[in-house]
Amino acid sequence: MSGEIRYALAENTCVEPLVGRWVAWPHVMAPVTQSLHLLNYQIKTIGSYLGNPAIHEVSCRNPKLLGGAFVDVPATRLSEVRDFLAETEETFSDNLAFARTLIEFHNKLVAEAKGESLEDCYQRIPEPLRGYVELLYDYYNRPIVRPLEGLLYKSGYYKKEAQSLRLFRQETDLERPYYMSTPRLSGDDSLDWTIAFDDPRIDELFRLDQEPKSFDEIRSLLDAPASLDGKLRAILRETDGAIRAPWSGDEVRVRYFGHACALVESGGVSILIDPLIAARPEQHDVERFSFGDLPERIDYVLITHGHHDHFVIESLLRLRHKIGTLVVPKSSGVFYGDLSLKLLARQLGFADVREVDYLDEFAIPNGRIVAVPFLGEHNDLPSAKAAYFLRLGARSLLFAADSNCLDPEIYAHLLRETGPIDTLFVGMECVGAPLTWVYGPILPNKPEHRHSQGRRSNGCNSSAALELARAVGCRRVFVYAVGREPWVRYLLALTPADDDVYMAEIAKYIRSLRDELGVGAELLFGRAEILI
C-alpha cells in the first residue's frame, strides 16, 4: 500500500541464536562437542545453581569471577530453572547417553589397545556410538575414536528443533550474561522465534535493513501472535531502507569493527574477517561500526578459527544473505574439538563454503587470498586455523589473528610465495585462558593443572610479535584482537584495565617497532578507518 509505514530492526536490537536455550557457538552446534559440553558443563552448572542459587547471584556480581561457571538468573526464578533442567535432560537424553558412552569407551580403548589391530574392537562399540565412529591409531600406538561428523549431523543427535532466535532490545553493552554459563530463559522482554538456523526465512528477517517491510508482514514472518505486538514494536524502527555505496577510492580501505573483525574493501571487492558485529545499545560509551556500515554485498568472509569470538554464529547468521563465499580452515576430522567448520557452516545455511589448508590460494579481482600457517596450540586446536594474506593491487596485508610466532622461519618461506607484506594485523592477547576453560568439558580426561595453565588460548607477546614483524618486513603494524571492546565481554569475560599484562606487552612492542625497525604501530580499539 502506498504510504504504508515500513520497518527494519532497530540499531539496538540483538538477535541471539540459541540451542536448547543456550547461546549458539561451535561447541554447542557440532553433535559430539554439544553432547560432551551438555554433560560435563551445562548440566553440572545448572545443578550447582539449583543447589545454591544465592552463591551464583553473588558471584555473578563479582568482576573477578566473570567467566566462571555461575548462572546469572535471580533466585526468584529457581522453579523455572528446575523445570528447564528437567526439560533439557528429557530432550537431550540420547545426547547425554552418547557423551557418557563415548568417554567410557574411549578411555577403555586407551587402556586396552596397545598396537594390535583394532578390527575386533568394532564389535565392542556400544550401541549409542555404532555407525558414528571410526577407530584409529596415532603413530605411537595410542588409539583414537574419530567421530564421523557428517553422519552425526544427519542423526537424531543433531536437533534442529532445539534451535531458536531470541530478539531483544539491548540497553547497554554490558547487560548480556556470560555466554557459556547462563541459559536464556523464555518469558522476559525478549521475543522468541523457534526456527532452524538453515531456514531461509532468517534471511528475510535480516534483509529488513535493505528491504523494510510493514509491521503485519514482519509479524507474519515471525509467526508472532498479536499479543506480542508490544515486544515486536520495541525491536523495530521506522525506515525507508538504506543502501550503503561501496568504497570507490584508489586506496585499500580497512574498517575495524572491534576485536578481530575487519572489513577490507578495494576495487569493488569486499572481504570481512572474523565477523563480530555489535549492535548500538541505547546507552554506549564506545563508538562502533555496526550492521548499517557494511556494504550491500560481502564477497568473501574469512574465518581464522572456530573459537567462539571468531566464528560468531550470531553475526554469521545475520549476514548470511549478503555473503558470497565463506572461507574456513580445514579441520583434521580426528579430534573432538577440531570440528569441521565447513560442515558446521552448511548447517547454518551457507551454500558456498570454501575449505582451505595452508598455502591454498584463490584469485579475486585484482588480487588473491592465501591461507597462511597459524601457529600455537591455542588450547587444543591442531588443524582448523589459518591466518590470511591478502594481495590487493599493489598492496599486501596479513591478518594473523591469534597466531603465535613460534617459528619465524615459516614466514621466510611464506614470503617466497607471497612477496613482501606491507601491513600486518597481529593479535596480542598474550595471556589467554587455560585449556580447561573452554575445552575441559570435551576432553576424555581432565588434564593436570600445570598442563592446563600452560596450554592457553594466547597469541603473541612483544618478543614474538617483533619477530613476526621482522620476518615479514612490514612497514605498518596494527595490534588487534585483544578483546577490550565492551560488547565482547559476554564472550571473553574480560574486564580491561590499563595495567593488564598484555597492555604492557603491547606498549613494549610498539616502542620496539619504532626503535629497532623504524615501523609505526597502533593499538586498535572500538572503531577505526585505515587507508593503505
My answer on whether 67 and 107 are in the same domain is no
Residue 316 lies in a domain: no
My answer on whether 102 and 170 are in the same domain is no
Residue 55 lies in a domain: yes
For 470-526, give the DSSP string. HHHT-SEEEEE-S--SGGGHHHH-----TT-HHHHHHHHHHHHIIIII--EEEE--S
Q: Which residues pair with 310 in a beta bridge?
A: none
My answer on whether 210 and 108 are in the same domain is no
My answer on whether 335 and 400 are in the same domain is yes
138, 153, 168 — which closes off a domain? Answer: 153
My answer on whether 120 and 200 are in the same domain is no
Residue 262 lies in a domain: no
My answer on whether 182 and 192 are in the same domain is yes
101, 134, 153 — which closes off a domain? Answer: 153
Counting the structural domains of the chain, the total is 3
My answer on whether 27 and 38 are in the same domain is yes
My answer on whether 124 and 209 are in the same domain is no
pTM for the model: 0.96
My answer on whether 451 and 389 are in the same domain is yes
Cell 538477535, located at residue: 15
Residue 363 lies in a domain: yes
| 532 residues of the chain, pLDDT tens digit each | 457 899 999 999 999 999 999 999 999 999 999 999 999 999 999 999 999 999 999 999 999 999 999 999 999 999 999 999 999 999 999 999 999 999 999 999 999 999 999 999 999 999 999 999 999 999 999 999 999 999 999 999 999 999 999 999 999 999 999 999 999 999 778 999 999 999 999 999 999 988 999 999 999 999 999 999 999 999 999 998 877 888 989 999 999 999 999 999 999 999 999 999 999 999 999 999 999 999 999 999 999 999 999 999 999 999 999 999 999 999 998 998 899 999 999 999 999 999 999 999 999 999 999 999 999 877 778 889 999 999 999 999 999 999 999 999 999 999 999 998 999 999 998 788 888 888 899 998 888 889 888 888 888 999 999 999 999 999 999 999 999 999 999 999 988 888 889 899 999 999 999 999 999 999 999 999 999 9
d(CA 100, CA 288): 44
**CATH code assigned at 511:** 3.60.15.10
> What count of Cα atoms within 13 Å lies in the side-chain half-sphere of residue 11?
13
| Residue 1: predicted pLDDT | 45
> CA nearest 440: which of 42, 29, 129?
42
My answer on whether 112 and 87 are in the same domain is no
Q: Which domain, by its residues, includes 224?
A: 7-92+159-238
C-alpha cell recorded at residue 223: 509467526
Residue 530 lies in a domain: no
186, 221, 238 — which closes off a domain? Answer: 238
| Residue 2: predicted pLDDT | 55
Residue 529 lies in a domain: no
Residue 251 lies in a domain: no
For 336-400, give the DSSP string. TTS--HHHHHHHTT-S-EEEE-TT-EEEETTEEEEEE---S-TTT-SSSB-EEEEEETTEEEEE-
C-alpha cell recorded at residue 39: 554433560
Residue 255 lies in a domain: no
My answer on whether 81 and 136 are in the same domain is no
Q: Which residues pair with 531 in a beta bridge?
A: 253
My answer on whether 125 and 176 are in the same domain is no
